[in-house]
Amino acid sequence: MSARPAIFGLKGPRLDDNERDFFRDANPWGFILFARNVESPKQLARLCVSLRDVVGREAPVFIDQEGGRVQRLRAPQWREAPPADRFGKLFAIDPQAAREAVWVNHRLIAHELRASGIDADCAPCLDLAIEGADAVIGDRAFGADVEMIAALGQSAMDGLIAGGVAPVVKHLPGHGRADADSHFQLPRVSETLDVLRDTDFAPFVALNEAVMGMTAHIVYDALDPELPATMSTAALNFVRNDIGFDGLIMTDDLSMRALTGSFEDRTTRSLEAGCDVVLHCNGNRREMQAVANRLPEIDGKVEARISRAEAARDRLEAFDAHRGLAKLDALLERVPE
C-alpha cells in the first residue's frame, strides 16, 4: 500500500506494539517528534530507525527546531539555538553578516538533526512581528520588515537544505497579525487585502518556491470570513494562485483548539480545501485513527510535491560543526542575548 497523506506524532520515546500496528496499517507519509519523544541522541536515532522500519521506507521525520522558545532538542544534550529576532537585530547592523549567521545557524541545526535521524524541520517562520498581536509568534519572527524576512528566510532554508534537512515555511499565509494563539482558540485577522499583500503575505510571495509550507489556523476576513485558512478553499486558492506557492502544503496540527468538529471532519475539510497532507501531533491513537479513516490515496499532483520535498533531503555538503559554531558566535557578538 502506498503512503497516505498524513504526518503523525507518537506518545513517548519508544514505539509500543499498538503504535507499531497502527502505523503499519495507516502508513502515514511522515512522522513528527516532540520533547516527549526525546531522551538522548542514541535513543532518538533508534526511534527514527524504528519509525522508518514500521512503514518500510525512508519516511520523513519532522520536528519543530526553530531556536529560541520553539526547539524540541534542548540543552544539555543539544545546542540552544538563538531565537529568530536576534538575527533580525543583526540585520539592522549588518545585513550580510545576518544572512551568513542565519545560514550557519540552520546548517548547524541540520547537522544536529541529521545526527539523530531527523530530516525535516518545521522552520523557518516567515511571519511578521506585529506590535499588539498575540505573543505566540513574537521573537520567533525575524522582525517586521518584509525584505529582511525574505532574505533571512532564504538563508535559513539554504542552510537546512545544505545539511540534508527539508524546510517547512510557516505559517501560510501569515500568522504574525493573529489576535489569539491558535493552540487555544481561533484567531481572526481583519486587515484589508491590500494591507496583507504588502505585509503578512509578502514574505511568502518572495519565497514561494519553498518545497513545503504549513498553514495557519486563522480566519482572514479578506479571504474567507467564515473558515480558517487550513479549511478554506478560497484561502488556499489564494495561496496557490496569488502567492504562487506550488510546494507541498501541510496543515498545522489538527488537534489545536482553533479547529472544531470531529477529526474525520477536520481531515476531510482540510484536504478538500486544498491541503496536500494533514498533520496530527499529540499521539492520541483514537484521534489518529479517525484521521486515518478519512485519508485518500495520494494523487499525481500531490505525489510530485512530495517527491520535491523528499529530494530536499538529498543534498549533504561537507561541514565542520566546531568551526561553524565558532563562526556563528563571532557573527552574533554584536547582538547581546
Q: Which of 21, 183, 320, 329 is catalytic?
A: 183
Distance between CA atoms of 165 and 243, rounded to whole angstroms? 24
Query: Would you tell me the crossing angle of helices 95-115 and 84-93 to the nearest 10 degrees?
Result: 150
Domains of the chain, residue spans: 4-332
Distance between CA atoms of 310 and 332, rounded to whole angstroms? 32
Q: Any bridge partners for residue 280, and if so which?
A: 8
Residue 143: its pLDDT value, please? 97
Q: Any bridge partners for residue 169, and if so which?
A: 213
Residue 337: its pLDDT value, please? 80
Instruction: Kindly report the backbone phi and psi dihedral angles of residue 67, in degrees, each rounded to the nearest multiple of 5, phi listed first.
Output: 110, 165
Residue 299: its pLDDT value, please? 87
pTM: 0.97
Active site residue 252: yes
Q: Which of 200, 252, 253, 276 is catalytic?
A: 252
Spatial contact of 118 and 168, defined as CB atoms under 8 Å apart: no
Residue 2: its pLDDT value, please? 85
DSSP string, 57-121: S---EEE-EEETTEESS-TTTS--PPPHHHHHHHHHH-HHHHHHHHHHHHHHHHHHHHHTT--EE
Active site residue 183: yes
- In a structure prediction context, what are the per-residue pLDDT tens digits for the chain, which is 337 residues long? 589 999 999 999 999 999 999 999 999 999 999 999 999 999 999 999 999 999 999 999 999 999 999 999 999 999 999 999 999 999 999 999 999 999 999 999 999 999 999 999 999 999 999 999 999 999 999 999 999 999 999 999 999 999 999 999 999 999 999 999 899 999 999 999 999 999 999 999 999 999 999 999 999 999 999 999 999 999 999 999 999 999 999 999 999 999 999 999 999 999 999 999 999 999 999 999 999 999 999 989 999 999 999 999 998 999 999 999 999 999 999 998 8
| Reported CATH class of domain 4-332 | alpha beta
Question: Which ranges constitute the DSSP H helices of 190-284?
Answer: 193-198, 202-206, 233-241, 263-273
